[in-house]
Chain A
Amino acid sequence: MSPDTTPGAIPETARRPALFIGIAGLVAAVILVWVGTAGLSGSDAYVRAVLVLGGLGVGYLALDRLLWRLFGRKVQTDLWLSVAWMSVVVAAAALADVLPLEESRDASASFGAPVTQRPDLFSAHPLGTDTFGLDLLGGVIYGARLSLQISFGAVAIGFVIGGLIGVLAGFLRGWFEAVVNVLTDSLLAFPPLILLIALMVAVNPTVVNLSLALALLGIPTYIRLARANTLVFAQREFVTAARGMGATRRRIIFRELVPNVALPLLSYAFIIVAVLIVAEGSLSFLGLSIPRPEPTWGNMISAGANDLRRIPHLVFVPATVMFLTVFALNRIGDRARQIWDPRESKV
């Protein structure tokens, strides 16, 4: 996110140190993180925490320098790190069954495994184990699979239904728009988490039901976005031209408006996925989402919350993964919106 304060070419003499500083910084970061996680095991937890956090900070600054040196000053390091993180999460979730993971779901199969082992990157359980000896890395990856399935499913449903209603409201106007507005306002006036909880008490927590319930939460947002974007596009010349050529309303909606509104709507998908991952996590934390033995981020955090003082990594491992995923999705979503949302770029 470093803004360009002095644009223009960087003199060669300044570029070479940047390369060295970048590489040296990365090496230093790796050493710091290693010392913090493995090298000083048994010493004070605060020292280790400072070492790891400091190492990560140094690593980020060094990578920033390095990318700046290699690709120029406009490169957005945090954006590329976010893309990299999401690729890793999606790939791990997709390949979860193939990866050589230790047992993370069936407590009867993890019998000989060490119990509540602390994270140690160079052991069989890189992120540690829980009170049943279940592997946290495996749990986090299977949890990612569920979270992504549920929230992407919900966004897909909300996108189609909400988008269509929004386009119709923005194009037809009149009484239909008024009714849609009142319904959207009512849905938004309902406390969202309470609506979700009531729904999930009523139905079985399955992936499909959760997706539907979360979709209901996202639909008003999609209706509003689609309507606002349709209002912009419906006044453009090509719609007037289509009208003048005698196009039917259906043709105008599906051939002229929908393709144009879809892209800005899609650019919001990342941010809505991030919101829904948090919502699913909250439900899961309250015990209303997919229950154990299936691990989800929320139920892992909830299970660890009772032992927070003694075994903090049970909470902080899944919490960190969840935080990084939400952060990455927000960052990518911001960028996507800057590129594709016409209302955003027309300042």
Chain B
Amino acid sequence: MIAGVRPAIIPGQRWGTVLRTINLKLLHMVPVLLIVSFATLALLELVPGDPAVSVLGADARPEDYARVREQLGLEQPLPERYVSWLGSAVTGDLGNSVVHPSRSVWSLIASRLPVTLQIAGMALVMALLISIPVGMFAASRVGSAFDRATAASTSGLISLPPFVAGLLLIYLFVFNPHVPRWLFLAAAVLGAGWLAWYTLRLLRSHDLTRSETTWQVVGVGAMLAVGIGVFLMWPSFPRQGFSRITGDGGIGENLRTAFLPALTVALTEVAVFARLLRSDMISTLQEDYILASRAKGMPVRRILLRDALRPSSFSLITLAGVSLGRLVGGTVIVETIFNLPGMGRLIIQDGVIVNDFPVVQGAVLVIAVVYVALNALVDISYAVLDPRIRRGAA
């Protein structure tokens, strides 16, 4: 069927297609989740050690071990254990942790998931806040010094292993705090200086209207103000630990403890996001309607923000969603370096190492659900945002 022949959008049909996409995606989730949870159980079988020993300690009587194994259902064959676990998991019961003191797996996850989600969410926001202006600016001046510096630093950041990045940030922000502090001030002053010089040059060639001049001057002032303000109020970051929002310190203390872990995670993401936005934006900027805008004499800032950013951001949105899903299960390293009570350390230290299989199974299932659901959500939102995909799916 040729796409152009069809009537463009029939309201009812349009949402029907989207709904069908959603159904397909949800259907696809089921086997993936089944396989992941079964694989987790099978994998735990491989891990040496007896859960009964974790419960009773090393010197109980053999018949006690046998009794505990019976209670935990360990005497049944693997498929049967899986089916009975699945049966209660479907009804929302993930069981209790084996290791003393026994707690419900749900309550363990409920105390850990917010930490991981906060780190992942903050990292994503930081990465977007840095990468969108950088990517846009690099794309608007392909081949310039700024563009080349961006290319070099993104490939550097991509090659930085997360645990090295974490230690580097600790060395700079915790042990030598005046280095990043002065660097930040220097960057702000240099940026403001460049903007001022650029404005003066435009003024001399009479390319600026009065309101634009005002905005440029406001921009210079804002850069200087932010630079000096952050420099003066530079907080001291802790080496490790985490303060919950509900804790004594409130939200300020919470952000202070979450900042470095989130920045560590964000560093890699920034590089990937900035590269993606830059390349998408370069191809958008070659479109005819951008040329038309330019010919009309629209200012560059307006073309970039109003005309080019939205159509260039589709793949960025996709990638951001996928990244968030990946990060929910992928912050183990950062949690270890900064000693955070997140999902990764729940699975490793309270689960795999001490053979607490209900904890591992429940936590991996939750992570997999979040991951698969976010991926599906991204696909669906993509279909809603971009009419071409929608039509292609029908």
Residues of A within 8 A of B (CB): 1-3, 5, 46, 78, 182-183, 185-186, 189-195, 197-199, 201-203, 274, 278, 281-282, 285-286, 298, 301, 305, 308-309, 312, 315-316, 319, 322-323, 326-327, 330-331
Is the C-beta of B187 less than 8 angstroms from some C-beta in chain A? no
Residue contact B36 to A186, C-beta cutoff 8 Å: yes
What is the number of residues of chain B that contact chain A, defined by CB distance less than 8 Å? 52
Taken together as a complex, chains A and B put the C-alpha atoms of A274 and B148 apart, in Å, by: 23
Say how far A195's CB is from chain B's closest CB, in angstroms: 8
- Verify A185–B32 contact, CB threshold 8 A: yes
Q: Which residue of chain B has the shortest Cβ distance to A282 in the bound complex?
A: B333
Contact status B32-A186, CB under 8 Å: yes
Which residues does chain A contribute within 8 Å of B368, judged by CB atoms?
189-191
Looking at the assembled complex, report how far the CB atom of A303 sits from the nearest CB atom of chain B, in whole angstroms.
12
Question: What 1/0 flags go to B154-167 for Cβ under 8 Å of A?
Answer: 01101111111001
The answer to whether A323 touches B163, judged by C-beta atoms less than 8 angstroms apart, is: no
Whole-angstrom distance between the alpha carbons of A97 and B158 in the complex?
A: 32
Tell me which residues across on chain B come within 8 A of A183, comparing CB atoms: 35
Q: Is B371 an interface residue (CB 8 A)?
A: yes
Which residue of B179, B333, B347 contacts A285 across the interface (Cβ within 8 Å)?
B333
Chain B 301-328 interface mask (CB, 8 Å, partner A; 1/0)? 0000000000000000000000000101
Contact A327 B159 (CB under 8 A): yes
B residues 142-181 with Cβ under 8 Å of A? 142-143, 148, 151-152, 155-156, 158-164, 167-168, 170-171, 175, 179
Q: How far apart sit A285 and B329, CA to CA, in the bound complex (Å)?
A: 18
One of B41-49, B66-74, B198-206 contacting the partner: B41-49
Closest to A320 in B: B164
Is A282 in contact with B162, judged by CB distance below 8 angstroms?
yes
Q: Which chain B residues lie closer than 8 Å to A195 at the CB level?
A: 43
- Pick the residue among A197, A278, A326 that contacts B352 (CB under 8 A): A197
In the bound complex, what is the Cα–Cα distance between A78 and B380 (angstroms)? 41
Chain B residues in 8 Å Cβ range of A193? 329-330, 332-333, 344
The 3 closest A-B pairs by CB, nearest first: A191-B329, A327-B159, A202-B46
B353 touches A201 (CB 8 A): yes
Q: Which of B32, B171, B336 has the most CB of A within 10 A?
A: B32
CA distance A195 to B151 in the complex (A): 33
Chain A residue nearest in CB terms to B333: A282
Contact between B348 and A330 (Cβ–Cβ < 8 Å)? no
B128 is an interface residue with CB less than 8 A from chain A: no
Contact with A along B282-312 (1 / 0, CB 8 A): 0000000000000000000000000000000
**Which residues of chain B come closer than 8 Å to A281, judged between CB atoms?**
161, 163
Majority DSSP secondary structure for residues of A touching B: helix
Chain B positions within 8 Å of A194 at CB level = 329, 332, 344, 347-348, 364, 367
**Residues of chain B lying within 8 A (CB to CB) of residue A282:** 161-163, 333
In whole Å, how far is B63's beta carbon from the nearest beta carbon of chain A?
28
Among A1, A199, A308, A309, the residue within 8 A (CB) of B152 is A1
B31 within 8 A of A: yes
**Interfacial chain B residues near A203, Cβ < 8 Å:** 46
- Knowing A189-B371, A202-B43, A308-B175, the reply to whether A197 touches B332 (Cβ < 8 A) is yes
Q: How far is the CA of A20 from the CA of B363 in the complex (A)?
A: 63
Least CB distance from B175 to A in Å reads 5
Q: Is the CB of A301 within 8 A of B167?
A: yes
Q: Which of B35, B160, B167, B367 contacts A191 (CB 8 A)?
A: B367
Name A198's contact: one of B31, B47, B179 (CB within 8 Å).
B47
CA distance A209 to B330 in the complex (A): 22
Any A CB within 8 A of the CB of B372: yes
Closest to B142 in A: A3
- Asked whether A201 and B155 contact (CB < 8 A) given A186-B39, A315-B167, the answer is no
B364 touching A191 by the CB < 8 A rule?
A: yes
CB distance from B325 to the nearest CB of A (A): 9
A-B contact pairs, 22 of them (CB 8 A): A1-B148, A1-B151, A1-B152, A5-B143, A78-B152, A182-B28, A182-B35, A189-B368, A191-B328, A191-B364, A193-B330, A194-B329, A202-B43, A203-B46, A285-B163, A286-B332, A286-B336, A301-B167, A305-B337, A316-B171, A319-B167, A327-B155
Name B114-162 residues within 8 Å CB distance of A.
142-143, 148, 151-152, 155-156, 158-162
Bound form: Cα–Cα A319–B167 in Å: 10
Task: Determine whether the beta carbon of A331 is less than 8 Å from that of B155.
Answer: yes
Chain B's closest residue to A285 (CB) is B163
Bound: A286/B335 CA distance, A: 11
What are the residues of chain B within 8 A of A331 when measuring CB–CB? 155
Using CB atoms, name the residue of chain A closest to B367: A191
